[in-house]
């Protein structure tokens, strides 16, 4: 288990927090907390706020299972706090978390590792509202949010540039649209678990990800073996290139008409969701790893200096 000297018995499960993904994080945290109690751990659920360091200092957990999503929870911030406090924690460390959360910089890392990506630029949101900064179709999204928060798909049929909400950041990512099927692969303990084909009636947005019935998951994906193996290979390479630890999940688009050339890496999530509809627990189950064992492994893998 990681670098800690004994099996953790008291686990603080971090959840909630101040990000726009708070509700998903609460769902992930509550599910993991319940599973860990069934595995025999003493579990303390912590809704992370500005007093987090004080709470953790008081309860002195043996390890932290980080179920925070979005900014502050998976961008290196809370990881730095846990390093400072010397508390072993799950998932990736400071640098890998920060890199993966910054979509543009993570794509630069992927490109340097020879992984297939599509063109993207960082542009002021006002410029995006004023004119097409890239030939449609393209996607506009925050550079440092997850769960398809604030994502706009702009195609040829749009009358003009997207009218972004006022709560979008001052600068956004504009990315060439990658057509095709939505595939994803989780990496756990240096192993690519399997490949899932995500079927939706439209854009794979926040509701499709987290609302019951929002999407259908085919696992293992019914795709050619060379595509299946490439997804697993690319996910492992992305995990390694970013310096990830623990569990990660890498998302792809595959244009069937182009064969292997049509497989594009979209992004890597260093803290995949653990909700009842989440992809990573489903993939673990498909290869014989129960949800309880998955949660136990994350806790036993916890360490500092990640």
Catalytically annotated residues: 21, 147, 210, 249, 251, 267, 269, 273
* Helix-then-strand count for the chain, H and E: 10, 12
Interatomic CA distance for residues 257 and 147, integer angstroms? 27
Q: How does strand 42-47 pair with strand 10-15?
A: parallel
Residues contacting residue 93 through CB under 8 Å, at least 6 positions apart: 76, 79, 83, 243, 245, 305, 306
Which ranges of the chain does DSSP label H, i.e. alpha helix?
Answer: 22-38, 52-59, 77-85, 94-101, 103-112, 125-130, 206-210, 225-242, 279-286, 291-300
């Amino acid at each position: 288990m990681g670098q800690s000297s004994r099996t953790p018995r008291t686990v603080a499960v971090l959840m909630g927090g101040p990000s726009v993904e708070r509700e998903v994080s609460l769902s992930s945290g509550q599910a993991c907390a319940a599973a860990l109690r069934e595995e025999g751990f003493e579990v303390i659920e912590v809704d992370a706020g500005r007093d987090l360091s004080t709470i953790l200092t008081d309860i002195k957990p043996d390890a932290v299972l980080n179920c925070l999503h979005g900014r502050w929870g998976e961008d290196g911030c809370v990881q730095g706090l846990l390093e400072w406090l010397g508390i072993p924690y799950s998932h990736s460390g400071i640098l890998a978390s920060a890199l993966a959360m910054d979509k543009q910089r993570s794509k630069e890392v992927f490109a340097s590792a020879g992984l297939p990506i599509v063109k993207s630029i960082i542009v002021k949101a006002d410029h995006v509202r004023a004119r097409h900064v890239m030939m449609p179709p393209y996607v506009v999204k925050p550079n440092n949010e997850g769960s398809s928060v604030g994502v706009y798909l702009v195609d040829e049929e749009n009358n003009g540039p997207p009218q972004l909400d006022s709560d979008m950041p001052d600068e956004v990512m504009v990315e060439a649209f990658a057509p095709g099927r939505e595939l994803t692969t989780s990496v756990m303990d240096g192993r690519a678990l399997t490949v899932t084909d995500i079927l939706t009636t439209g854009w794979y947005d926040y509701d499709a990800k987290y609302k019951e019935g929002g999407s259908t998951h085919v696992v293992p994906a019914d795709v050619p073996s060379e595509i299946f193996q490439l997804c697993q290979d690319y996910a492992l390479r992305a995990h390694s290139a970013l310096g990830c630890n623990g569990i990660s999940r890498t998302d792809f688009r595959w244009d069937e008409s182009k064969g292997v050339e049509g497989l594009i890496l979209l992004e890597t999530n260093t803290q995949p969701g653990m909700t009842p509809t989440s992809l990573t627990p489903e993939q673990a189950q498909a290869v014989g790893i129960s949800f309880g064992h998955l949660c136990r492994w994350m806790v036993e893998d916890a360490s500092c200096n990640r």
